[in-house]
Amino acid sequence: MLTANETKIASGPLSQMSQFDHEQVVFCNDNATGLRSIIAIHNTTLGPALGGTRMWAYASENDALTDVLRLSRGMTYKAAVTGLNLGGGKAVIIGDARKDKNEAMMRRFGKFVDSLGGKYITAEDVGINTKDMEYVHMETKHVSGIPPALGGSGDPSPVTARGVYMGMKAAAKEMWGNDSLNGKKVAVQGVGHVGSVLVDFLVKEGAKVWICDIYEDRLAAVKNTNPSVEIVNGDQLFELDMDIYAPCALGATVNDDTLSRLKCAIICGAANNQLADENVHGKIVMEKGIIYAPDYVVNAGGLINVYSEVVGFGRDYALSLADKIYDNTAAVFAMARAEKMPTYMAANRMAEQRIAAMANLRTRR
Ligand code: NAD
């Protein structure tokens, strides 16, 4: 039986790291600038750990640690399944992005990133913008997602939308034996940077598209470009008689409530963490006969875009890699079918298999 002190150690940072086999976690503090940050490196088997920096007013240090460990692990899986030579990493800065951020803090953070010598490459995430990345870039070259004027790859959303569209076509092929979306009824939730470009692809292919968003101006802009789309409000969305639900706004929209109402054959969209609980809702979706295109497989275009900056290739090649998301998604479906497992589980397994195969390769001459 553990003593009180040993129990404390068992739930400490090292134990949390060992739960999902994280390689390294760096705690960064600078009283002068107010920087309090955690950089997590999950796995570098495939390459340097790449992942954005999130600034958030976490309720506790432990919440920040839990988040950065979870997010960095997710990056390992996304890079691996997409076939990129990148590992998984992530950073969090504890604080309110609207009040607490300043140039000195971001540059100090850049110095910490630099001290890792390229093992971790940072990028933008929630609460961090391109200007912040410019400051980070003043102190380290291990940063992606810098402004195009400084040699950056620019807005990733068109590449992400292209990948989601390709994943959707692969899902259509799996469901109907034909990847055409012509005449298919698709509901797109959230028409921001990614959703609006996805709508362009869908309308061009002849799909019947419903859109919803919390901002009237977003809806009006999309309706203006694509007059055939129909606007619905958020509550109505899950009552529609649709073929495909495309979540492009928030996470966790595939949950007990929506699954009791959703009438669709396919779920495929850009949002991260669409399944409220992977183990529960991934299984329910399978039992209902719905094909779920795993979010991190189909929305990898954003990562492909920052990877283009690291490796040094242009937008055309990035888009051609996004097209390969079709084959990746199809491979996930094939494994799920063969092994009778939920698609999210098949995606995880594919990522793990690639990491294991490449780890094995590294020991060979
Ligand atoms: P965005 O902020 O530009 O667009 C999101 C849209 O969703 C906004 O227009 C917002 O008003 C709308 N929205 C918010 N809450 C809503 C609700 N309850 N109902 C309907 N609409 C709502 O973001 P984005 O860059 O288009 O990204 C969309 C999603 O895809 C996010 O979850 C993001 O994390 C994920 N993602 C984006 C990229 C990328 O390259 N931008 C890459 C990978 C994943």
Q: Where do the structural domains in the chain lie, given as residue ranges?
A: 10-70+86-155, 158-299+329-350
- Whose structure tokens read 């890792």? 116
| Angstrom distance (rounded) from CA 137 to CA 13 | 29
Q: Which atom of ligand 1 is nearest to the CA of 160?
A: 40
CATH 3.30.160.100, domain 10-70+86-155, yes or no: no
CA–CA–CA angle 92, 98, 104 (5° rounding): 65
Give the phi and the psi of residue 175 in degrees, each rounded to 5.
Answer: -80, -45
Q: Which of 80, 72, 97 is nearest to 16 (CA)?
A: 72
C-alpha 247 to ligand 1 mean position (Å): 9
Measured in Å, residue 191 CA sits from the centre of ligand 1 at: 7
Task: Tell me the CA–centroid distance for residue 257 and ligand 1, in Å.
Answer: 21
Compute CA distances 97 → 27, 35, 103, 129, whole Å.
19, 12, 12, 10
Closest by CA position to 333, among listed 323, 352, 321, 347: 347
Owner of token pair 């002849």? 206
* Ligand 1 geometric centre to CA of 213 (Å): 9
233 lines ligand 1 (CB under 6 A): no
How far separated are the first and last CA of the chain, in Å rounded?
A: 47
Angle between helices 157-176 and 325-339 (to 10 degrees): 40
| Residues marked as catalytic | 90
Q: Which residue has the tokens 């009791």?
A: 260
**3-state SS class at 98:** coil
Pair of tokens at residue 354: 């690639």
**9 alpha carbon – ligand 1 mean position (Å):** 39
Going by C-alpha positions, the residue among 122, 118, 145, 137 that lies closest to residue 38 is 122
- Mean pLDDT for back-to-back runs of 10 residues, the chain (365 residues): 49 91 98 98 97 96 95 97 97 96 97 98 92 94 88 89 98 98 98 96 98 96 98 93 96 95 97 94 97 98 93 92 98 98 98 94 73
Ligand 1 contact via 212 beta carbon (within 6 Å): yes
Q: Which atom of ligand 1 is nearest to the CA of 250?
A: 32
Does residue 190 line the site of ligand 1, with CB under 6 A? yes
Q: Is the CB of 48 under 6 A from ligand 1?
A: no
Answer yes or no: is the C-beta of 121 below 6 A from any ligand 1 atom. Answer: no
Q: What is the pLDDT of residue 11?
A: 76
Looking at ligand 1, which residue's alpha carbon is closest to its atom 39? Answer: 157
Identify the architecture of domain 158-299+329-350 in CATH: 3-Layer(aba) Sandwich (3.40)
Q: Whose CA is nearest to atom 18 of ligand 1?
A: 214
Angle, vertex CA 104, rays to CA 103 and CA 107, nearest 5: 85
Residue 156 Cβ < 6 Å to ligand 1: yes
CA-nearest of 28, 304, 301 to 139 is 28
Is 259 near ligand 1, meaning CB less than 6 Å away?
no
Residue nearest to ligand 1 atom 15, measured at CA:
249
- Report the nearest-CA residue for atom 2 of ligand 1: 192
| Residue 53 β-bridge partners | 91, 124
Q: Do residues 162 and 135 touch, judged by C-beta distance below 8 A?
A: no
Point out the ligand 1 atom lying closest to the alpha carbon of residue 295: 44
- pLDDT at position 10, please? 55
With a 6 Å cutoff on the Cβ, whether 250 touches ligand 1 is yes
In angstroms, the Cα distances linking 265 to 37, 44, 161, 187, 209 are: 42, 37, 20, 12, 15
Could you tell me the pTM of the whole model? 0.92
What angle do the packed helices 301-311 and 315-323 form, to 10 degrees?
140
SS3 content of the chain, % helix, strand, coil (to 5): 50, 15, 35
Domains 10-70+86-155 and 158-299+329-350 equal at CATH topology level: yes
Query: Among 218, 232, 224, 173, which Cα is nearest to 203's?
Result: 224
Torsion of CA 176, 180, 186, 191, to 10 degrees: 140
CA of 22 to the centre of ligand 1 (A): 29
Q: Which helix (H) or strand (E) holds 51?
A: strand 49-56
